[in-house]
A and B are shown apart, each in its own frame.
Chain A
Amino acid sequence: MVPDIPQGLYYALGAVLFTIGAIGVITRRNAIIIFMCIELMLNAVNLTFIASGNFLNSLDGVVFVFFIMAVAAAEAAVGLAIFVLIFRLKGTINVDDIHLLKG
Chain B
Amino acid sequence: MIAVGMGFKWFIFIVMAISAIGSALMMATRKNPVHSALWLVVTFFSIAVIYVLLNATFIAVAQVMVYAGAIMMLTLFIIMLIHLEQGPSCLPVKRSFLKLIGGIITLTLLLQIIAGIRFYANVGKKGVYTPEMLASVGNTAAVGSLLYGKYAFVFEIASVLLLLGIVGAVVLARKRKDEEE
Contact = CB atoms under 8 A, between A and B. Distances in A.
Interface in A47-103: 47, 50-63, 65-67, 69-78, 80-85, 87, 92-94
Contacts of A16: 21, 110
Contacts of B124: 52, 56
Contact of A92 (B10, B58, B89): B89
Given A32-B84, A84-B78, A84-B81, A74 B164 contact: yes
B106 A73 contact: no
Q: Helix, strand, loop or mixed for chain B's interface?
A: helix
Main secondary structure of the interface of A (DSSP, over half): helix
Interface residues of A, number: 74
A33 B126 CA distance: 39
Given A47-B47, A94-B89, A2 B59 contact: no
Contacts of B36: 33, 36
Interface of A: 1-5, 7-13, 15-24, 26-30, 32-33, 35-37, 39-40, 43, 46-47, 50-63, 65-67, 69-78, 80-85, 87, 92-94
The 5 closest A-B pairs by CB, nearest first: A74-B165, A58-B127, A24-B28, A81-B172, A26-B102
